[in-house]
Amino acid sequence: MKNLPEARVARLAECHKKQKAGYGQHASFSTQPACSDLISNPDLAEFMIHCEKQALADATIQTKYKILRHMIRENVNLADPDTVKLYIKRNNKWSNGHKTLAVYTYNEYAKMKGIQWTPPYYPKNETLPFVPTEKEIDALITGTSKKVSIALQALKETGFRIGELWSCKWIDIDEEKSTLKCNNPEKGCKPREVRISAKLLARFNMLPKRNDYIFSNSRIGFARTMFNYQKKRLAEKLNNPRLKQIHFHTFRHYHATRLYNETKSLLEVQARLGHRNINSTMVYTHIVEFDEESQNYHHAVAKDDKEAGQLIDNGWTYILTTPQNVMMFRKRK
């Protein structure tokens, strides 16, 4: 792999040029792969080809690429697993979740190089997502530039991830049904079709139709940079520092929480978000309790008859079984 053809390196760089959501959610467009990085670091090019051969998603390859590139730039000796372990452990700028991603990345690299190592474990920090008020959401929609504002309105109404929205094409809009399709779901989610408002339809049609994509297949990183700059100014103008905590993905949390509040149906929230696992949806029942009745119950799930029996023995009441054969229970507080 040391003599990797430059044409192959250039093609890989172009394939992964578009910034994806996920690890780079709050990164700027300057962090995208560049041919110079791949040419000067043959291990990076070899690693990207290895990941392609493993049939990993582009967003996953992008994540692993950035982490491996970061360690190379920090002069971490990748041939020594103990050095890598110490670097990950001592990096105070990384959360446990970020350190886990670094472990996954190096584990893939070690497999490629035939390096034996025992991956360290970092427990996940369980936190509830920040959910802004509708007033705060609308303040950002009305206070940002045209393209960013339209994107925020779409995120609010659909609950799509920013990468999913950026992948939407003009043909995904059905004006007769007033819907928008997500045909390129991320994180293993399901495709879905969501009803949108006439206002959002009209705003979509205000965008220039430069190619097949609603947002012209432009860089997500640039839009994110613009949004971060504009929300900071707006937070100062409105004297509301909470606005600085709102990211593109926050709109998904807001959408899910609002939908659950309106429907009290986890199945509907699960379908809207495209989750394959009901446990991914359960968190939205605990973010914000909107009414007195919902505050009176705890919720739990059982994956088999044994777990269900234990819940029943402990006073839990059966509610329903999802299409994934997960049994849902509740118990009054």
Rg of the chain taking only CA atoms, in angstroms = 22
At 234-282, the pLDDT tens digits run: 999 999 999 999 999 999 999 998 888 878 788 889 999 999 888 888 7
| Ordered domains of the chain (ranges, CATH) | 6-113 (no CATH), 134-255 (1.10.443.10), 297-333 (no CATH)
Q: Are 153 and 200 in contact (CB under 8 A)?
A: yes
133, β-bridge pairs: none
Provide, for the chain, the percentages of residues in helix, strand and coil under a 3-state DSSP scheme, each rounded to the nearest 5. 55, 10, 35
Between 20-34, 123-137, 284-298, the lowest mean confidence (pLDDT) is in 20-34
Question: Model pTM greater than 0.85?
Answer: no
Instruction: Indicate if the pLDDT at residue 14 is higher than 70.
Output: no
Residue found under tokens 């149906």: 265
